[in-house]
Amino acid sequence: TQLLEQSPQFLSIQEGENLTVYCNSSSVFSSLQWYRQEPGEGPVLLVTVVTGGEVKKLKRLTFQFGDARKDSSLHITAAQPGDTGLYLCVCLQTDSWGKLQFGAGTQVVVTP
């Protein structure tokens, strides 16, 4: 069982600032996903990264998968209040269909 560590646990920033959150493991991921969970809702998939060194962009969000596929980062540029939420990383293995293993998450609060 892989242990996913996310940091920081909590992040509070002003609108317009940038932020980066991290997801690390001592084991190699087959692939990794990032989800965002807003209060009162279930997690929503943002991105899946598969290849070591891969970078994906989703508007103001940039996701990077480490070269060794043991870590990932999520960078948000010019954060907006709508970015507020719990950001969760998930490691995937080929036999993990329906059995996601989540990190503890980073709670991000963006204030106007």
Partner 1 sequence: DAGVTQSPTHLIKTRGQHVTLRCSPISGHKSVSWYQQVLGQGPQFIFQYYEKEERGRGNFPDRFSARQFPNYSSELNVNALLLGDSALYLCASSIAWNEQFFGPGTRLTVL
Using CB under 8 A, list all residues that contact partner 1: 6, 31, 33, 40-45, 48, 88, 92, 94, 96-105
CA distance 70 to 40: 31
Q: Hey, what are 12's tokens?
A: 């509070």
Residues facing residue 61 across a β-bridge: 58, 76
DSSP letter (8 states) at residue 19: E
* Least separation in angstroms between CB 29 and partner 1: 12
Nearest CB to partner 1, comparing residues 28 and 78: 28
State whether the Cα torsion 50-28-76-111 is positive or negative: positive
Nearest CB to partner 1, comparing residues 40 and 112: 40
61 within 8 A of 103, measured Cβ to Cβ: no
* Least separation in angstroms between CB 65 and partner 1: 14
Nearest CB to partner 1, comparing residues 66 and 105: 105
* Least separation in angstroms between CB 105 and partner 1: 5
